[in-house]
Amino acid sequence: MLSAHYAVVFLISLRLCLLGCNGDKIRPFLTYYETVSYNRDQLFKDHQRSKRATNQVQSTVQIEIFGYNRNFELMLRRDRSVFTDDFKVMSDDTSIPIDISFVYSGILKDEGESFCHGSVIDGYFHGSIQTRNGTFYIEYEKHDNGTVESYIYHEKDIDVKSFELSLKKYEFLERMKWNSKEESVTRTKRSVDMSRTTCLMQLKADYLFFKRFRNLQEAISQIAGYMRSVNAIYDQVNFNGIKHINFKVKVLNIIQEKQPDNAMNSAYIGPEKLLMLHSSYNYNNVCLSYLLTNRDYNGVLGVAWTGKEGNNGGICSMFSKLKDAPGTEGSLNTGIVTIQKYGQYLPPRLIHITLAHEIGHSLGSPVR
């Protein structure tokens, strides 16, 4: 496993002001949130200085956030542990140099069992804070008029019913945690090495996903958050004695411009068809490959091939001829996840649960 890479960073103490808001049309998935503001210029400068530091002293970035009648004092260090050492970003079959020093993780100063994860981009922080009282999320939104609004909300303030999102996904993951024998993976011994529990992934972000976040840093920041949360879920799962399964991104392929000649370019491709198109490529170099998109599938948030014994689907399946499609080759170690439902962008928590759920199918858990 990779250990986190740290560099010198500088103390940032930010007092955030807030205003409470009930759910509105702008964020229909939230029943309540509080807006926050802080010294963005100072945060930007200190983050830039931390990037230039050369020694490995494990200094912290401290961000002080006040919300929900509590003072959150985050102590963060730079963290790229969800990416492999040779992680690369591809666009148009070309490798793009990228600095991912904007990704951080840490704890709350006064709560040792807490966990914080997020990113600092252009002086704005967004991420999550897991506490003994649940998880809080801090996000920011750039409006068309050029203004930026930061806000914080609690996981219980996510109105899943407004999306008709069944809690079966979350309950499914809870069963995986505590009743692992019932939800264990049925893979052959060929594909299971008890000493190797890291699954390497190739992720592809299509143009619609990239367009939602507008630039590479924002997109990578979101993906880092997805993977961190998925790893937190699977760290508690016991697959027939295999524990602490985790996932690392080896390759990220981002489509930054429309590709009219690409079969996946249309926004009106159904989820099953999109999965087939994504599966038409060879992903033998990784355990799993997932496509991230921003398409409205009338309630469907993800689709994946279910893991089966042999080379019949799921994790580590090799590119080969498909049994149900004579003359066609494909990779069945694949899946897709969309980040919207009924035209609304989903809050990160629901995306995390969806991705973890679909990966569960890739690992062999049955469809329910």
Q: Which 3-state string (H, E, C) describes 330-360?
A: ECCCEEEEECEECCEECCHHHHHHHHHHHHH
pLDDT (tens digit per residue) in 348-367: 999 999 999 999 889 887 65
pLDDT on residue 261? 87
List the catalytic residue out of 139, 183, 218, 358. Answer: 358
pLDDT on residue 246? 93
pLDDT on residue 176? 46
Rg of the chain in Å (alpha carbons): 20
Do 306 and 187 touch, CB atoms closer than 8 A?
A: no
pLDDT on residue 146? 84
User: Which residues lie closer than 8 Å to 260 by C-beta, 6 or more apart?
Assistant: none
pLDDT on residue 10? 32
**β-pair type (329-330, 334-338):** unpaired
* Closest to 18 (Cα-Cα) out of 67, 70, 69, 72: 67
- Rounded to two decimals, the pTM is 0.85
Query: CA-CA-CA-CA torsion for 60, 77, 120, 353, nearest 10 degrees?
Result: -140
Active site residue 358: yes
* Closest to 274 (Cα-Cα) out of 293, 289, 287: 293
pLDDT on residue 163? 54
User: Which residues lie closer than 8 Å to 349 by C-beta, 6 or more apart?
Assistant: 135, 137, 155, 158, 229
Domain range summary for the chain, segments of one domain joined by +: 17-83+101-158, 162-362
pLDDT on residue 245? 87
pLDDT on residue 249? 98
pLDDT on residue 214? 87
- CATH code, 162-362: 3.40.390.10
Low-confidence residues of the chain: pLDDT under 70: 1-25, 55-59, 162-195, 366-368
* Closest to 1 (Cα-Cα) out of 220, 154, 200, 281: 200
pLDDT on residue 367? 58
